[in-house]
């Protein structure tokens, strides 16, 4: 059994050494949250986030002047992040390597926030072997107008079909419109195998219930359905990390939930970065123990 160590929670207030400038700058104009509040959110949530965001190639959604102003997706460092944000060389399609960024601690997260980051997205592989994916994600994207009940039922359906083939899965409200169904896996298959498995799984669901599910990108064919976006599982793709803030109105956050909790929520964005205390308390509850961890491998299908 390969060693799968959870990132150790930081001793003390490890992010404190990172200086956050312009704490009063409003990042979320609709609801008033500032850069300081965003930094406090990440400092408080770092122990919960690091097992998922740490030591994986990370892409940042940076909005230095706040959401609504110019934002950009960043996966390489131009050298401006300093020591707490690390680099891992990864081969591009043409074979030459590019440095991708990753963090390992609260100071790394906070350095990114200082640089205007709102969202953290990670690869489904760790920096020690980026060619060995250890997580599969089905990103459920409901067509506009579909009710929350449909989304909830769809997530549950994926959970059950995954359980049928022996796979434990975990639900995360994206903080936006949909749900991510997360399947932790022991490394051992290639990206190609992962993507192929995810594609076949998503296609099987949409073929069984074509009125409910669609597994192809086509916007036109999506009307009234849930798009099962399996392309999060190809090499280089990312998905938003648990407890990341979202660059959306209301400063919502990506929220891991227990399967039995779905009925408590009526949207994919029930909490915001103002709710750190509540969510830290919540995370200690029994229902979330072990969220996102399972020792399992892809079955031969």
Radius of gyration of the chain (CA): 19
In terms of DSSP bridges, do strands 213-214 and 226-229 run parallel, antiparallel, or are they unpaired? parallel
Nearest-10 Cα torsion for 150, 154, 160, 165 = 160
177 binds ligand ATP (CB under 6 A): yes
What's the min distance (Å) between Cβ of 102 and Mn ion? 23
From residue 82 to residue 121, what is the string marking binding to ligand ATP with x (rule CB under 6 A)? ---------------------------------------x
**Residues paired with residue 252 on neighbouring β-strands, in sequence order:** 272
Cβ atoms of 27 and 116 within 8 Å: the answer is: no
What's the min distance (Å) between Cβ of 236 and Mn ion? 15
Residue labelled with tokens 């990172």: 18
Number of residues interacting with ligand ATP: please give it, by CB under 6 A. Answer: 14
What's the min distance (Å) between Cβ of 248 and Mn ion? 12
Q: Which of residues 41-60 bind ligand ATP (CB under 6 A)?
A: none
Q: Quick one: 107 or 205, whose CB is closer to ligand ATP? A: 205
**Segment lying near ligand ATP (by CB under 6 A), choices 20-28, 205-213, 231-239, 270-278:** 231-239
133 binds ligand ATP (CB under 6 A): no
Q: Quick one: 48 or 268, whose CB is closer to ligand ATP? A: 268
Q: What tokens were used for 222?
A: 């999506």
What's the min distance (Å) between Cβ of 269 and ligand ATP? 9
What's the min distance (Å) between Cβ of 113 and ligand ATP? 18
Q: Which of 139, 182, 198, 257 binds ligand ATP (CB under 6 A)?
A: 139
Q: Quick one: 86 or 248, whose CB is closer to Mn ion? A: 248
Q: Which residues contact 300 (CB under 8 A, 6 or more apart)?
A: none
Q: Which of 4, 23, 65, 73 binds ligand ATP (CB under 6 A)?
A: 73
Q: What tokens were used for 290?
A: 């072990």
Cβ atoms of 200 and 79 within 8 Å: the answer is: no
Binning the chain into helix, strand and coil, the percentages to the nearest 5 are 30, 20, 45
Cβ atoms of 157 and 150 within 8 Å: the answer is: no
Q: Which residues contact 70 (CB under 8 A, 6 or more apart)?
A: 63, 64
33 binds ligand ATP (CB under 6 A): no
Residue labelled with tokens 């990312």: 238
What's the min distance (Å) between Cβ of 10 and ligand ATP? 25
State the Cα–Cα distance between residues 11 and 47, nearest whole angstrom: 10
Q: Which residues contact 290 (CB under 8 A, 6 or more apart)?
A: none
146 binds ligand ATP (CB under 6 A): no
Q: Which does 240 bind (CB under 5 to 8 A by kind): ligand ATP, Mn ion, none?
A: ligand ATP
141 binds ligand ATP (CB under 6 A): yes
What's the min distance (Å) between Cβ of 65 and Mn ion? 25
Q: Which residues bind ligand ATP (CB under 6 A)?
A: 73, 121, 139, 141, 174, 176-178, 229, 232, 238-240, 268
């Amino acid at each position: 059994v390969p060693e799968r160590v959870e990132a150790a929670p930081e001793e003390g207030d490890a992010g404190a050494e990172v200086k956050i400038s312009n704490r009063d700058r409003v990042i979320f104009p609709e609801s008033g949250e500032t850069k300081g509040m965003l930094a406090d959110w990440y400092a408080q949530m770092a122990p919960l986030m690091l097992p998922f965001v740490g030591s994986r190639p990370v892409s940042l959604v940076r909005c230095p002047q706040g959401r609504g102003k110019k934002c950009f997706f960043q996966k390489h460092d131009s050298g401006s992040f300093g020591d707490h944000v690390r680099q891992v060389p990864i081969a591009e399609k043409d074979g030459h390597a590019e440095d991708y960024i990753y963090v390992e601690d609260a100071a790394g997260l906070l350095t990114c926030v200082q640089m205007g980051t709102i969202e953290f997205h990670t690869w489904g592989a760790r920096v020690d072997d980026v060619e060995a994916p250890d997580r599969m994600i089905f990103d459920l994207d409901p067509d506009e107008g579909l009710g929350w009940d449909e989304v909830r039922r769809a997530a549950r359906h994926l959970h059950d079909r995954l359980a049928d083939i022996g796979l434990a899965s975990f639900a995360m409200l994206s903080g936006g419109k949909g749900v991510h169904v997360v399947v932790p896996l022991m490394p051992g298959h290639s990206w190609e195998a992962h993507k192929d498995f995810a594609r076949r799984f998503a296609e099987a669901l949409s073929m069984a219930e074509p009125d409910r599910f669609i597994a192809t990108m086509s916007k036109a064919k999506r009307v009234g359905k849930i798009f099962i976006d399996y392309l999060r599982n190809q090499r280089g793709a990312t998905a938003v990390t648990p407890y990341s803030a979202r660059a959306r109105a209301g400063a919502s956050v990506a929220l891991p939930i227990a399967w039995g909790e779905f009925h408590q929520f009526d949207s994919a964005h029930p909490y915001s970065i103002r709710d750190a205390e509540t969510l830290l308390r919540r995370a200690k509850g029994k229902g979330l123990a072990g969220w996102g961890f399972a020792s399992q491998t892809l079955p031969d299908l």
